[in-house]
Amino acid sequence: MTFLDDDIYDAVENYIPMVSEYVNSHGGGIELLGTKDGTVYITLTGACGGCSLSLMTTKMVVQKKLRELIHPELVVVNVDGTPENVLPDDVYVPQAVEEKMDETAPKSGMIENLKHMVGL
């Protein structure tokens, strides 16, 4: 994929409200955690956060729609606490978002800040 992480992040951030409609209708939400090498890292929140169908929602709803809107090779990962769905240490997050997270989270590494932010 030829897009930069910040370009993908901006595009996803722009389209998240449109993509969230289905998830919102089930009492959930989508939080954008970051991007890296054509992969978008999200977390499903609310009722969708612990749902047994969260993998299907991530791939068949969120990923499918973002591929239509942004790029057909985009991959979406729901960071859900399982070993195969982890947030990389060097994921792209805009500086303003990192600073906001620093204000609300205990002082520690970026991963710990994100875990705190999503309640892990």
pLDDT for 78: 96
pLDDT for 88: 94
CATH number at residue 57: 3.30.300.130
Beta strand pairing call for 75-78 and 39-46: parallel
**Domain annotation covers residue 78:** yes
- Cα(51)–Cα(69) distance, integer angstroms: 25
Three-state SS for 60? helix
Range of 38's domain?
Answer: 5-87
**Domain annotation covers residue 117:** no
Three-state SS for 36? strand
Verdict on whether the full-model pTM lies above 0.85? no
pLDDT tens digit string along 48-62? 988 889 999 999 999
- Cα(47)–Cα(83) distance, integer angstroms: 22
- Other Cβ atoms less than 10 A from the Cβ of 101: the count is 15
pLDDT tens digit string along 72-120? 999 999 999 899 999 999 999 998 666 665 665 555 555 666 666 666 6
Number of domains comprising the chain: 1
pLDDT tens digit string along 33-46? 999 999 999 999 99
Query: Band of the pLDDT at 3, cuts 50, 70, 90?
Result: confident
- DSSP 8-state assignment for residue 28: E
